[in-house]
Chains A and B, each alone.
Chain A
Amino acid sequence: MRAQINPHFLFNALNAVAGCVGSRPDLAEDTLANLADVFRYVLSRSDKEWVRFSEEVAFIRAYLAVEQARFGTRLQVEFRHDEACLGMYIPAMIVQPLVENAIKHGCSKVVGIGKITIVATAMERGLVVTVADNGPGFPADYSSERSAGHGLRNVSDRMRGYYGDSRSIAWETGESGTTVSLTIPMMEHRECAS
């Protein structure tokens, strides 16, 4: 089971580039470069399933930059991480679906300013990544089991595949926002290479 990027991300990004190419050509150029980085990462990941967290961070920053070109000042991003996290090995694209969800189901539903806050902390039990948004929260009837294909389900299945445990994902959701936290166990590089 592998993560995938939502194809609408590409169409919306191309539409945003088309929109700013005349008035803000610099933003259009940057967005194309970021889009290329995003897809380079997505397409190359198959032969490199484990990545350093620093690579995932660069990918998520490019992804967020594209989303910010679409939403402009309506999307506020905060991204913090410990230096100690950067060398840790994680499955590629394990954090991105949480970011995509937070924007698609959270920030983009906010009338006014949508905020996404991503915090990565190196802890004894592993790398803890929290992704918080100020969106309307999960629907009242939400269940990760029933909504197959949903981003959280995908991440949780992949976590089970890699670590034999899917309990590493937890969330809190309410009318004023959602916070999802993912705990990625510490792995030695040689374990990952196998």
Chain B
Amino acid sequence: MRVVIADDEAPARQFLRRLLTSHNDVEIVGEAEDGTEVIGLVATAKPDVLFLDIQMPGGNGLEVAAGLMRHRPAIVFCTAYEQHAIEAFELEAVDYLLKPVSRSRLGQALDRIRRTDPAQPVPKAHERLSRFLARRGGNFVVIPASKAAYFESVDGLTKIVTVTGEAYWMDSPLQVLEQRLDAQRFFRVSRNALINLNEVAEVHPLPGGSAELLLRGGPRLEVSRRRYRSLLEVIEKS
């Protein structure tokens, strides 16, 4: 299995690296020191397994795990803190190791990964997303789903605009977001946009069967002809 180690402390990375060398099927394909670097490295190295520290600069481990969607390795949290375990499992972590980890405990975590089907760790469609990790400049921020006004696909990236009008970028395709968000609340109005229904202020029908939406914060978005009728149905039901 191909492994990435993410920890901001060099001795901690070194310790894991040494423990992992006694497992012949493990290949370490990269190491990262902060949240931003982890996301980049996972996207390029596409590891099977990510050993992830929680307290890190530039996006902590929980935020990183919440934000990995396009390529999602099996995640093993590795931390000195016990209190994040519940949240870690909500994020579908395979295991949660407490530092310093013993050889036998690490072996158990690896066995657990070996037993799972390597093709499986894609997030399950029914698992609802309640927050996202999005980027603006070099910083990552966590945005609760309730604060998202709409998502727009722009040049292969996804722009998220919050209810207060701030724009951030994320890596998840609209299709994945649509599957994993609450369908009562988020609606795909066109190929390029997914909106928060609570943010709809006005709907203006246009000639030809499409429409234009005005959201509370002021942005205007086009509703495709194909989606317009079901949008009206969803709005009436909610």
Interface of A toward B, CB cutoff 8 Å: 8, 11-12, 14-20, 22-23, 69-72, 74, 108-111
Residues of B close to A11: CB separation below 8 A: 80, 98-100
Residues of A close to B99: CB separation below 8 A: 11-12, 14-15
Residues of B close to A111: CB separation below 8 A: 34, 36, 57-58, 138
Binary contact readout B1-43 vs A (1 if CB under 8 angstroms, 0 otherwise): 0000000111111110010000000000000001010000000
Do B57 and A23 touch across chains, with their CB atoms under 8 A apart? no
Besides A19-B15, A20-B14, 4 more A-B contacts (Cβ < 8 Å) are A11-B80, A12-B99, A15-B99, A111-B58
Give the dominant DSSP class at A's interface.
helix
A20 to B36 alpha-carbon distance, docked (Å): 26
Do A16 and B98 touch across chains, with their CB atoms under 8 A apart? no
A17 to B58 alpha-carbon distance, docked (Å): 25
Residues of A close to B9: CB separation below 8 A: 12, 15-16, 19, 70-72
A65 to B99 alpha-carbon distance, docked (Å): 19
Do A69 and B11 touch across chains, with their CB atoms under 8 A apart? yes
Do B8 and A108 touch across chains, with their CB atoms under 8 A apart? yes
Report if B55 contacts A (CB, 8 A): yes
Could you name 20 residue pairs across A and B whose Cβ atoms are closer than 8 Å? Answer: A8-B81, A11-B100, A12-B9, A12-B80, A14-B99, A15-B80, A16-B12, A18-B15, A18-B100, A19-B9, A19-B10, A19-B15, A69-B11, A71-B8, A71-B9, A72-B9, A108-B8, A111-B34, A111-B58, A111-B138
Count of B interface residues, CB-CB < 8 Å: 20
Do A70 and B55 touch across chains, with their CB atoms under 8 A apart? no
A108 to B34 alpha-carbon distance, docked (Å): 10
Binary contact readout B52-74 vs A (1 if CB under 8 angstroms, 0 otherwise): 00010110000000000000000
A67 to B57 alpha-carbon distance, docked (Å): 16
Do B34 and A15 touch across chains, with their CB atoms under 8 A apart? no
A81 to B131 alpha-carbon distance, docked (Å): 46
Taking the closest CB of chain B, its distance from the CB of A14, in whole angstroms, is 5
Binary contact readout B100-144 vs A (1 if CB under 8 angstroms, 0 otherwise): 100000000000000000000000000000000000001000000
A2 to B57 alpha-carbon distance, docked (Å): 30
Residues of A close to B138: CB separation below 8 A: 111
Report the 8 A-B pairs with minimum CB-CB distance, sorted nearest first: A19-B11, A19-B15, A11-B80, A15-B99, A15-B100, A16-B11, A19-B14, A111-B58
A94 to B13 alpha-carbon distance, docked (Å): 33
Do B57 and A108 touch across chains, with their CB atoms under 8 A apart? yes
A111 to B8 alpha-carbon distance, docked (Å): 9
A20 to B13 alpha-carbon distance, docked (Å): 10
A12 to B8 alpha-carbon distance, docked (Å): 12
* Interfacial residues of chain B within 145-201, with CB under 8 A of chain A in the complex: none
Question: B36: nearest residue on chain A (CB-CB)?
Answer: A111
Do B57 and A19 touch across chains, with their CB atoms under 8 A apart? no
Question: B34: nearest residue on chain A (CB-CB)?
Answer: A111
A10 to B9 alpha-carbon distance, docked (Å): 15
A72 to B57 alpha-carbon distance, docked (Å): 15
Taking the closest CB of chain A, its distance from the CB of B147, in whole angstroms, is 15
A159 to B203 alpha-carbon distance, docked (Å): 61
A17 to B9 alpha-carbon distance, docked (Å): 12
